[in-house]
Structure 1
Amino acid sequence: MKRIGIIGVGEIGRAIVVGLCDGADKPPEVFLSPRGARTAAELSERFEGVRVCAGNQEVVDRSEVVIIAVRPLDRHEALAGLSVDGDKIVVNVMAGVGNDELRRMLATDAPLVRAIPLPPVRERDSVTVTFPSHPVVDSLFERLGGSLAVEDEAAFNVFSALTATLTTHLSYLTTLTSWAVGHGVPSDVADHYVRGLFQGVGRALSDETRSLHQLAADHETPNGSNERIRTTWFTPANSEALNKVLDDLLARLK
């Protein structure tokens, strides 16, 4: 796999390029679409093997693996008229756009693989869910932190829904910081402390010998402060509401 094309150079496209090229001994050639011109130009200046193409068809023609990373709402405009030969491999990272629909749009016999790369692939530190398993695509994402191939599209959609909780988690941390500021703690001090507090917990997640339930128990003293917050704020009703919104999102993704 020496030539990779990316159509749609937004945050995920940028992260993939950086993960593949930054500090790599033998980075692939990367061909970028002109969409997201500023980001594409920046990446081509930063990395020797990255080139910006005149159009999306050129990206396809020059690549072995084509990653489609446009926003779902832009897919019809971005992919209209593209010709994709059967010897290409197409990686679909558009949320909520199934491979059946993409195959109809492209009218191609090329292998299509769905994937959920996240921004930490830029540090080669994020597992990417894929469906169906394909050796070339799985190898690509192994280079970016790991690949998790799932058995069917229903499971893939569940993982896609889970990724939608990330900004909610960050907003939770923002709320904690704002609460501390409201009680007189300087903003930069509160921000620094909350980041460090949850980075420490995050490192504990790498210990897969303990279940998530066990990790929670290990951080909680009976009748202590953590238990008080959990049982009075994260109530069964809140848990049910979270399950409901995830179920609603999953229905949309299907």
Structure 2
Amino acid sequence: MDKLSIAVVGAGKLGRLIIHRLLTHVDPASIHLCRKDPNRLGELAQEFPGCRVHTNAQAAVDRSGVAILAVKPPDLGPLAAMLGFNGQAVLSLITGKSFGTLISTLGTTNLVRASTSILLETGSAQTTWMAHPQVETHSLSVCLRIMKEWGELTEAQTEHDLAVTIVSSGALPGILATDLLDYVYALQALGEQNAEQKTLRTLKVLCEQCLEKNCSLESKVSQVKTPGGITIAATDVLEQANHQTTIAEALQASLSRVYELDG
């Protein structure tokens, strides 16, 4: 990305992944970083050599054309109190913070909201974005250029669509990993020595078959649920335990938290 200066505000898990991805195609000298704790600036300089490290967010933003906000939702207020924008594009990945909240706290409408996942580090994330109606055309173009490097892009039509995507893209990898880990523990209890590797390989094959053959998970389930067989013996137990209802309640709880974070 020629002549594009980018400030990344937030050096947590997501912020670091974004920086790592930027470094695959952006000159380090064009990336401006900062930390809430000035005593830990040396860590950033050591982890991301060549990037410009600043003692505060304003200094980083002032030297950039686009500011990527990757802070935790509770940190938006304190950040906004010490931060001003002068035409910079703002790409917000702050979970749950609506355009209304961002405008009232940041004082700009030159905004793009996005939801992505940890897969952005390898360029394989599914990122959903939405631009504020008053965003500048050039600013939107710059934000899209950045996000295209993260993987596949989808434009959300409403902020509710974006909230749902925050769950399906942002939270789902962790939710699925948690569920899979329960299967691993159960297999280990049965005596399976390579439970984790077998579970991951099975999942990989299942996903590849569905994606490559363009078949649905429902059709795959129908293929393996032989009456009187070992698979249906297990799925019957899951159905009796209302497993599907539990999953639905878990995802609804995640979506509710997205809206709570806008408070």
Q: 1:35 maps to which residue?
A: 36
- Structure 1 counterpart of 2:13, from 11, 14, 35: 11
Contact 2:28–2:49 (8 Å) recurs in 1: no
Q: 1:113 maps to which residue?
A: 112
* Alignment of structure 1 residues 135-174 onto 2, 5 Å: 135-162=141-168, 163-174=170-181
Distance of 1:208 and 1:88 partners within structure 2: 45
* Alignment of structure 1 residues 73-222 onto 2, 5 Å: 73-85=74-86, 87-109=87-109, 111-132=110-131, 134-162=140-168, 163-186=170-193, 189-207=194-212, 209-218=214-223, 220-222=224-226
Question: After alignment, is 191-200 or 49-58 more displaced?
Answer: 191-200
Distance of 1:205 and 1:88 partners within structure 2: 43
Q: CA deviation at 1:252?
A: 4.2
Q: CA deviation at 1:61?
A: 0.7
Distance of 1:141 and 1:11 partners within structure 2: 17
Q: 2:57 matched to 1:56?
A: yes
Cα deviation, 1:134-156, whole Å, max 9, x if unaligned, reads 33222211111121111111111
Distance of 1:118 and 1:39 partners within structure 2: 25
Unaligned runs of 5+ in 1: none
Q: 1:225 to 1:29 in 2, by over 3 A?
A: farther
Distance of 2:131 and 2:215 partners within structure 1: 29
Unaligned runs of 5+ in 2: 133-139
Structure 1 vs Structure 2 CA RMSD = 2.8
Q: 1:20 maps to which residue?
A: 22
Distance of 2:67 and 2:174 partners within structure 1: 28
Q: 1:160 to 1:102 in 2, by over 3 A?
A: same
Q: CA deviation at 1:7?
A: 0.8
Q: 1:232 to 1:253 in 2, by over 3 A?
A: same
Please report the TM-score for the alignment, with normalisation by the length of structure 2.
Answer: 0.81
